[in-house]
Structure 1
């Protein structure tokens, strides 16, 4: 009997060793060999961690000091990716732990990946600790993704967005009045506009998403902000299955934040459902719209199929994702726009003249901002040089042919948005310069290559909130231009870096002048 137990134990141990060896060594080496055979160059595989340590050290060095006042930001923002480009060329691979990540650059191949007509390019599996930020539509595929998108999309219809404009104007008017008070006894003052725009968009997105429950929404943001820091910490290391269940200090904090956010959202949703049941306005905010269309879909599912239903938990995850993405995108875009218009005062004056010509001193509205062509050109150029999301990732579910190469199953495909946006091949010799004029004939004619402008993604998974973010930003920028001129403060330090989006690491210190 003892011999049998020992034998079985040895078999189990050998099996486990074999599986671990396959995962951390043999499989990566086979994939590396296959890619090198096709002429794709990249870093040499190193057991388990891959290039994570090198990337971390590169970030630490690059972000240790500010850069010169120019728009050649790739070496600072993505130092390891910049080195990869110089060493191995545009199509290359690195190692994200045990997974090879192939960078794809050519516009026609980017289109193929993002359109995903072959159905083999899917969202990568995310570390469960990072998923705590939001586990909504972006984590879904196939029918589940289509069903969830169907639920969310009506909330972003242009007619619904028009109804949200007064709410954002309320938040922006409060910002303008607060800035005016700072200048009551002064002709100018210094202000870090980065936290100011964060507070603006927190207030606006809380009102627009939750309606009368916006104060609770602000509490969610503070918790999400801390969760982002913890998620970045988790992303800098390899996740070992089951690690999230260990009662470490960080894990306990992660779970507390997640449970607290869910508790607040559950209370808001329960109150909203009760209000809707009593005849409250079901179209007053995005949460109401999601619940309205979600309930319709749930009813349809109960009648027709046994497929997974849209649940309150699903709505909670979509709220978390929308709150995080919606707030961050608008605040970073407004911040970088003011920084760039401070660096390029001629364009600031052109934008102001257009706003005053179109709106006068009247509060801008949905109709008037649609006539701001110069403002639109400026915002597109800011999105080109400083896109909120700098890299997009897909994963090969099966062995997949892409152009002249064949990617093994289990490979990450990196779409280097920031680097493509700064590529002279697509944007000309002035690619690193701020030149809104390049968008004078629209996005389609701005670059030499199709699909070279990707700030909100491309294809069926293009960001649903794109129009929402642009409307908010145009309104906010127009109102600031009506009341203030601005320039860089002597204390401003140019230091773009990545947190979850592209942000000013050392703030955005400007000198405000009231007009």
Structure 2
């Protein structure tokens, strides 16, 4: 009896100790650590809205978002508004007015330093320290879509991924892709010509699916080579994952909500499993080939097998994550940017005419090649201006992995920095009084001539993490515009409503419909 009593007391003591340990851990993670970080920032006169327990400022953000209309309605007869931050991120605009161009807020227990100060942005852009890494929450929030690929990883894993992928996206390699890009985009030109002819010389065309199809063909051929047709089915599933991940839910902000078996989470898990199976099947077939191709997939497979990974990150994970990363970055961002180009050129026919005249003069009615594309200065200016107003990433996020000095600010370890690309790209002190207007002429002398601080033009990211595929994206966009503009003129359909939305990247909230005529 005494022995049983002793055992009960021991079990009770262990349970109590475990409970106290858990309580202290939660207290430290949810309350103490965020307070300490805020205190260190407040001592440097960096303030922000007071957070609530556990949820931080998430409830206030959701209230403001729900009370703000996200529709910026315009037609082809109205001027489009390019300053949409107050509808997409009303909380940031409000706090910026209250606390200045540098403030702090909380997402649950994450402490965010929000930056719109151009000089601090310049410091971040020039910083090459590995102490500024990609935030850990990206792998948690967007793990099913991005995993630990080149877009989200840090340290030696990221360095190895960059060394594997970046050489395949060099300008010399991209030049060899021009014919493939032209071939992929030409199929849409033929379809539009047929529609216009069958509809009496003018057609209303929804271009979203066409741009996705062009980008899907290009990135699939680039990555999977002769196996590209087997990979096209992956695209719709990745898109479904993206939409599911960005779906609003009252559970967002609760630690561990991604593991709750909600209907939406079960859908994500199912899609993730299917994508994994499809990619690995292609990889298995490739490994079995006697003479495998020299496409990006082959480079990723070889990069996974060279023994540089180490730790729990397997070769299979390396292949899966980077295939998904390249697919997402190479397809989604380029297709969406092409849509913004059409919207802005349709709204500014004078620039559409200028681009067309340049393209026809350079190409002489022939299909574009590398030399022609290099000479298309006006088209380049238009793309640069579109990327200024509608960059794929409105926010560039970094996690401070070790205490770091940026300008006069000492940013503590574990703070996440959000750099507002939207605010910097519309700062009249940097771009002039017409900063919110579409004016490609500002890029006549390149980025250095367009902006007071060229380092704050962040269309392709910043620092050592700048987009490895920027040459690829620019070449693809030039080819799409060259082929479409040399064959068609277009205006916005009255059915189009200008309502930018944020779904990991900024994209049109409404289908992009154009009234298209043959030139």
Same fold (TM over 0.5): yes
Aligned to 1:39: 45
Name the structure 2 match of 1:184. Answer: 197
Structure 1 residues 46 and 286, CA gap change in structure 2 (3 angstroms): same
- Could you say which residue in structure 1 is the equivalent of 2:33? 27
Matched, 1:99 2:110: yes
Given candidates 32, 36, 56, the residue that maps to 1:50 is 56
Would you say the 8 A contact 2:196–2:518 is kept in 1?
yes
1:215 to 212, 221, 229: 229
Superposed counterparts of 1:356-435, under 5 Å: 356-435=360-439
1:438 shift after superposition: 0.7
* Distance change (3 Å), C-alpha of 1:460 and 1:129: closer
Aligned-pair distance for 1:307?
7.7
State the 1:21 CA deviation: 1.9
Q: Which residue of 2 aligns with 1:237?
A: 252
2:146 aligns with: 134
Q: Deviations over 1:402-458 (max 9, x none)?
A: 222222221111111111101111111000111111111111221012312001112
TM value normalised by structure 2: 0.91
Offset of 1:372 from its aligned partner?
0.1
TM-aligned CA distance change 1:353 to 1:115, over 3 Å:
same
Distance in 2, matches of 1:48 and 1:309, equals: 31
**What's 1:70 paired with?**
81
Q: Does 1:167 align with 2:171?
A: no
What is the CA-CA distance between 1:482 and the residue it aligns to?
A: 0.7
Aligned to 2:77: none
> Who is 2:264 aligned against?
250
Check conservation: 1:395, 1:413, Cα contact below 8 A: yes
- Which residue does the alignment assign to 1:200? 214
Following the alignment from structure 1 to structure 2, what is the Cα–Cα distance between the partners of residues 205 and 36?
46
- Per-residue deviation, residues 207-228 of structure 1 (Å, max 9, x unmatched): 2221232233221111111111
The aligned runs of 1:421-460 (5 Å cut-off) are 421-460=425-464
Name which of structure 1's ranges 61-70 and 486-495 shifts more when overlaid on structure 2.
61-70
Question: 2: distance between equivalents of 1:503 and 1:464?
Answer: 21
- Which of 129, 138, 149 aligns to 2:162? It is 149
Q: Structure 2 CA distance, aligned partners of 1:391 and 1:245? A: 26
Q: In 1, are the aligned partners of 2:396 and 2:420 still within 8 Å (CA)?
A: yes
Partner secondary structure for residue 180 of structure 1: helix
* Alpha-carbon separation, structure 1, partners of 2:312 and 2:66: 44
Contact 2:215 2:334 in 1 (8 A): yes
Greater displacement, 398-407 / 450-459 = 398-407
For residue 502 of structure 1, what is the aligned residue in structure 2? 506
Q: Secondary structure at the match of 1:95?
A: strand
Find the aligned partners of 2:167 and 2:408 in 1 and give their Cα distance.
40
Give the CA RMSD over aligned residues.
2.2
1:132 partner SS: helix
Change (3 A) 1:132 1:25: same
What is the rounded CA distance, in whole Å, between the counterparts of 2:206 and 2:359 in structure 1? 24
Instruction: Measure, in 2, the Cα distance between the counterparts of 1:22 and 1:279.
Output: 56
Q: How big is each residue's C-alpha offset from its partner over 1:220-270, in whole Å with a ceiling of 9 and x where there is no partner? A: 1111111112222489712534x5555443333222211211111111112
1:344 shift after superposition: 0.7
Residues 396 and 419, structure 2, Cα contact 8 Å, conserved in 1? yes
Give how far 1:496 is off.
1.0
- Residue in structure 1 matched with residue 132 of structure 2 by the alignment: 121
Query: 1:225 & 1:343 partners in 2: Cα distance?
Result: 28
Q: CA deviation at 1:169?
A: 1.4
Secondary structure, aligned partner of 2:410: strand
Extract unaligned runs of 5+ from structure 1: none
3-state SS of the aligned residue for 2:507?
A: strand
Task: Tell whether the 8 Å contact from 2:460 to 2:467 is kept in structure 1 after alignment.
Answer: yes
CA contact (8 A) 1:495 1:505 kept: yes
Instruction: Please give the alpha-carbon distance, in whole angstroms, between the structure 2 residues aligned to 1:245 and 1:457.
Output: 31
Shift of 1:294: 5.1
